[in-house]
Chains A and B, each alone.
Chain A
């Protein structure tokens, strides 16, 4: 996406000469970068930030942004592996329950006198095992991921609540709870953004610049053709479910430390926020299409909008209505664009846009 147009030959039309040469791209660099679904989300995010900074009192302050980031970090984190899972055409609904289970694991182990660092490691291992169970049921047993992860959503939440009951563990070392809330001096940027950036870079490279990532897109568009090309379809999906498991567990640890509280019902319902943000960011629910920068913008868009509206004293019901409407609009707009493109092809199809619009 970021590389430049290198012409193997000056824009040669489909000529007849043998040993022909090819244009790398059917549309200009500008179109390929700016006329995309991801750019639309990023532009919308910028507009919302600018408008809110001008019109909403107290919005344009470091405190607003640091709370915004602290609040959306779990969604940002889980959206990374979730994007990859959805691009393969699968889904993982058990992520928020895994956060709860990870939180309870940390809580019960520290309560039992274990060092908290060991508890972290155990929680991450629980995440890997939970993800592997999803992966096993989906790729080895061959069940649909929607059904499997609805089941494990209930299972992991049930385990979490069962382990700790309705009580909460709140006694954690101050060192760790401080780190979860720490900011870089006066900038207001929370420290927790560092692991997010590292993970975002890792996932972006994995998805967009490795042969593993090429396989992910191929699986989403046609798993049969991918298998015929030597892509390990089942293995790839298994790895991705383990990744959502471990990243969810990590998000659960962060959540526990940030609020200084391990409870069985921590982060209930968060899976829907994650999936909503991923879809808003331009990932196709049918698989095969999407990019990570769009997803990150999608998460931030929902976060910024919510935070600005709250500051403007809009009630949370109305905020839900607005974000819901935004999501519906974004899904409808994708279908509408596809329909408009088809229609343009049917009618006077001589406009250049008809072909290049498919480039995204």
Chain B
């Protein structure tokens, strides 16, 4: 585990002074990364720091503009992902792309099926090899089942099995744990450790520091497309790493202002949609941040989508300051002062191929029109106001929003809804997949908005976020509200108990 650059032993993978620009947008200015065999190397940085660009260069998806790229001491130059794979590099993405209709085995051997002496595909040999791979990884997946319906965790394992069967020496995992449950993360880590012990080099990209510190032995920090530092993990602390990532001190992750809690803004009464959620009743007051906690799949997003009118509901009422909100009409809900920042910003929050300005003014396009007419001049003006207030980083207002980093995309979604001047802001996973610095900004913003009298309903799967930001925590389990806990009584234990307690019995 020698970390100090030892030039006598060539590194498994080494990048020096790599740069990459897309037109006027510079993604990498000088990136360094040196990964040794027998090591799990963490690569961390805020969104937009250039991690993904670096990974894509290694994977052969992009070509570097300048710098050195060495594999086991030899300079390489990939012009396609096939070349990168042939050189022993495998990249496991957050959401693998398998062929859903093909079997697990067929997916592993796609494009290089073993053949028997008649030139036909040797199914038997394929299955034997697949079983051997799974045994080696100590996982149980039926090799004959179709890939359709496999959990994301299992899909990642299949990608890893594929990589091992190709004898990849360098495995890069780009935020693999983002969609995994606790047990699945443990299994993935066990696999990762055994791969390390076999003498492979692993790169692990994650925003979760507890995972980084428990799994990795070395850590490289990037910021604004530049290399910042590489250290053995035992010699650094989380605070230090965060400071290097952000370039400043993040003193408090969840700043919370005191706000005067006022009248009831939203009241939901007996909301029911069979099979999805049952008898949901709660209120949100002005100046109050209500956290909606629970496990993924508990029906939280479905409830807020129904409240906003995107999803249907069979029974119950939604009332905004005394006025009933009609069903199935987001535009009516918006008129009554509701705003919803949805869970999936790439599919639901933004029109990725449209410009920053069009997206930021999407929800206020009616009020921007004069005599029914609207033009880009008015849109740009309105978009600039909220973009600058939230410090969106973009080249120009007509840039496609899909080219922005995740944190900046989330800011555009926030700008879009704050522009409507809502009385109730519903925000579903406000900081999923965004970096530490932006996270703190979002939390400060929510707290500030509540201070100005806005009512906020926040769904979050991150317990520290719920406990740090919310005045009151509602907990859902299997489509029902199981607990309402005040800020003073809310602890990680009490919330988790309410979110899981039937599983406790089952287990």
Query: Is the pair A23, B395 in contact by a Cβ cutoff of 8 Å?
Result: yes
Which of A73-81, A116-124, A222-230 lies at the interface? A222-230
Q: Is A355 an interface residue (CB 8 A)?
A: yes
Chain B residues whose CB sits within 8 angstroms of the CB of A232 once the complex forms: 331
Query: Is the pair A346, B396 in contact by a Cβ cutoff of 8 Å?
Result: no
Q: Is B399 an interface residue (CB 8 A)?
A: yes
Query: Is the pair B384, A22 in contact by a Cβ cutoff of 8 Å?
Result: yes
Q: Is A114 an interface residue (CB 8 A)?
A: no
Q: Is A322 an interface residue (CB 8 A)?
A: no
Contact with A along B346-362 (1 / 0, CB 8 A): 01111111100110001
Whole-angstrom distance between the alpha carbons of A3 and B374 in the complex? 12
Total interface residues on B, CB under 8 Å, equals 57
Query: Is the pair B376, A211 in contact by a Cβ cutoff of 8 Å?
Result: no
Query: Is the pair A14, B374 in contact by a Cβ cutoff of 8 Å?
Result: no
Q: Is B25 an interface residue (CB 8 A)?
A: yes
Interface of B is mostly: mixed
Query: Is the pair A225, B366 in contact by a Cβ cutoff of 8 Å?
Result: no
Return A268 CB to nearest CB of chain B, in Å: 37
Q: A21-B388, A211-B374, A224-B347 are in contact. Are A218 and B24 (CB under 8 A)?
A: no
Interface residues of A in 88-135 (CB under 8 A from B): none
Chain A residues whose CB sits within 8 angstroms of the CB of B21 once the complex forms: 349-350
What total count of A-B pairs have CB within 8 Å? 144
Chain A residues whose CB sits within 8 angstroms of the CB of B22 once the complex forms: 345, 349, 354-355
Interface of A is mostly: loop
Return A161 CB to nearest CB of chain B, in Å: 41
Partner of B377, one of A6, A225, A346: A6
Interface residues of A in 208-258 (CB under 8 A from B): 209-211, 214-215, 217-218, 221-222, 224-232
B358, B369, B376, B403, most chain A CB atoms within 10 A: B376
Partner of B380, one of A24, A205, A218: A24
Query: Is the pair B63, A347 in contact by a Cβ cutoff of 8 Å?
Result: yes
Partner of B369, one of A18, A23, A210, A347: A210
Contact with B along A348-360 (1 / 0, CB 8 A): 1111111110110
Chain A residues whose CB sits within 8 angstroms of the CB of B394 once the complex forms: 14, 22
Of all chain B residues, which has the CB nearest A212? Answer: B372
Q: A210-B369, A211-B368, A355-B24 are in contact. Are A229 and B363 (CB under 8 A)?
A: yes
Return B459 CB to nearest CB of chain A, in Å: 15
Query: Is the pair B391, A353 in contact by a Cβ cutoff of 8 Å?
Result: no
Q: Is A336 an interface residue (CB 8 A)?
A: no
Q: A8-B384, A354-B23 are in contact. Are A348 and B396 (CB under 8 A)?
A: no
Contact with A along B320-340 (1 / 0, CB 8 A): 000000000011011000001
Partner of B351, one of A209, A221, A356: A221
Q: Please name the 8 residue pairs, one residue from A and one from B, whose CB atoms are nearest each other, closest first.
A: A355-B23, A26-B396, A354-B23, A230-B331, A211-B365, A23-B396, A230-B330, A229-B362
Instruction: Pick 15 A–B contacts, CB within 8 A, sort by A.
Output: A1-B376, A21-B384, A21-B388, A22-B396, A22-B397, A218-B358, A221-B351, A221-B352, A225-B347, A228-B349, A230-B330, A230-B334, A346-B61, A350-B23, A354-B23
